[in-house]
Amino acid sequence: MDQTISDFDIHLFHEGTLYNAHHTFGAHLEKQKKKVTGTRFTVWAPHAQAVSVTGSFTNWETGKYEMTRVNQEGIWTCTIDRDLTGEMYKYAITTASGDLVLKSDPYAFHSELRPQTASVVYDLSGYKWGDQLYRQRVRKRRPIYERPLSIYELHLNSWKQKEDGSYFTYREYADELIPYVKEHGFTHIELLPLTEHPLDASWGYQGTGYFSPTSRFGTPHDLMYLIDRCHQEDIGVLMDWVPGHFCKDSHGLYMFDGEPLYEYDSFNDRENHEWGTANFNLAKGEVRSFLISNALYWMHFYRIDGLRVDAVANIIYWANSEPETANPYATEFLQELNKAVFKENPRFLMMAEDSTDWPGVTKPVHEGGLGFNYKWNMGWMNDVLDYMEYHPFERRHHHHKLTFSLVYAYSENYILPLSHDEVVHGKRSLLHKMPGEYWEKFAQWRLLLSYLITHPGKKLLFMGGEFAQFDEWKYVQGLDWFLKDYDSHHQADHFSKELMDFYTNHKALHEFDHDPQGFEWIDADNAEQSIYSFIRKGKRKSDTLMVICNFTNVTYDHFELGAPFEGKWEEVFSSDLQQFGGTNLLNQSATTVEKPLHNRKQSLTVKIPPFGVTIWKPAKK
Q: Provide the annotated active-site residues.
A: 310, 353
Q: How far apart are CA 259 and CA 45, in angstroms?
A: 10
CA 2 vs. chain centroid, Å, equals 40
Q: How far apart are CA 537 and CA 518, in angstroms?
A: 5
Gyration radius of the chain over CA positions: 27
CA 26 vs. chain centroid, Å, equals 27
∠ at Cα 367 (411, 365), nearest 5°? 95
Q: How far apart are CA 460 and CA 458, in angstroms?
A: 7
- Asked if residues 588 and 607 have their Cβ atoms less than 8 Å apart, the reply is no
Nearest C-alpha neighbor of 154 from the set 464, 433, 484: 464
Is-cis flag, bond preceding 392, omega within 30? Answer: no
DSSP annotation of 367 reads: G
- E-strand spans in 298-401? 306-309, 349-352, 374-376
Strand bridging mode 458-462 / 414-418: parallel
* 391-408: burial string, b at 16+ Cβ within 10 Å, e else: ebeebeeebebbeebbee
Phi, psi for 493 (deg, rounded to 5): -65, -40
Sign of the C-alpha dihedral, residues 34, 38, 39, 42? negative
Start-to-end CA span in the chain (Å): 78
- Asked if residues 369 and 360 have their Cβ atoms less than 8 Å apart, the reply is yes
Beta carbons within 8 Å of 132's beta carbon, 6+ residues apart: none
